[in-house]
Amino acid sequence: MSDHKVIAIDGAAGSGKSTLARNLARTVHLPYVNTGLMYRALTASAIRNGVSDDDVEALIDLIHGLTFTLGGSDPRELKVEGFNERELTTPEVERSVSRVARHPRIRAWMHEVQRRLGANGAVMEGRDIGSVVFPDAVVKLYLAAPRGARVDRRTRERLREGPDEIAAELEARDDLDARTNPPTPPTGAIVIDTGSLDSDATLRTAISLILEHAPELVP
């Protein structure tokens, strides 16, 4: 049976997932769950507490101190209590998040929370939503773009770092993330190449695909 109200959006860092997912969530009036924030929050917590990204037991202890909720409006979205966006996107977090996210026990715990958060429908963004978390999502989108385009997008978003730093960080993260989740579209996903699309064009493309596959989701 398909998960009728889950839209899965997967893809690499800098492919435009977050912008599309938030815009789509507003359009279809579903909550927006950015699952990357959950792994980032655990990483930021490990950094705050001096816990190594290899120490699974200590990381599991830290997970229990994290609170994930849906809050705000237009769209309602995932919030991590006690962490602001700036703290979740520091270069230190970017450097170790893939190592924190690689542990199967941590992933299993996150998956359970993600399934609860999406149980009543959601636009879910991540790396393994269409393959593992909601394999029966009614629509699965996979965003792809050449690394150069992803570096350009990230450089515009992250004013604290230059393009060379961002390129090195993205390459390292791509390599580490590929060991945990293959950087390929999950079964049944529709690929959108965002390399030459701006955010409006990406949203229009996604909405026309959703109209084709799950028209009931579009008001």
* Contact flag: residue 13 with ligand C5P (CB under 6 A): yes
- For residue 82, give the amino acid letter: G
Return the exposure string of 103-139: e unless at least 16 CB atoms fall within 10 Å of the residue's CB, then b. beebbebbbebbeebbeebbbbbbbbbbbbbbbebbb
40 binds ligand C5P (CB under 6 A): yes
Nearest to 59 by CA among 110, 100, 114, 109: 100
Nearer to ligand C5P, 187 or 219 (CB): 187
- Please say which residue, 16 or 217, places its beta carbon nearer to ligand C5P: 16
* Subset of residues 76 to 115 that bind ligand C5P, contact rule: CB under 6 A: 97-98, 101
Residue 6's SS3 state is: strand
Q: Shortest gap between Cβ of 146 and ligand C5P (angstroms)?
A: 17
Look at residues 106, 113, 107, 98 and name the one whose alpha carbon lies nearest to residue 56.
106
Which sign does the torsion angle of CA 66, 67, 70, 71 carry? negative
Q: C-beta of 81: minimal distance to ligand C5P in Å?
A: 18
Q: Which is nearer to ligand C5P, 28 or 44 (CB)?
A: 44
Q: Which of 126, 130, 185, 186 binds ligand C5P (CB under 6 A)?
A: 126
175 contact partners, CB below 8 Å, separation of at least 6: none
- Binding ligand C5P (rule: CB under 6 A), the pick from 16, 31, 36, 185 is 36
Using CB under 6 A, which of 27, 115, 158, 180 touches ligand C5P?
180
User: Which is closer to ligand C5P, CB of 22 or CB of 40?
Assistant: 40
Closest CA to 190 of 125, 124, 144, 128: 144
Provide the minimum distance between the beta carbon of 182 and ligand C5P in the complex, in angstroms, as a whole number.
12
For CA atoms 196, 36, 46, 177, the dihedral sign is negative
The footprint of ligand C5P (CB under 6 A) covers: 13, 35-36, 39-40, 97-98, 101, 126-128, 173, 177, 180
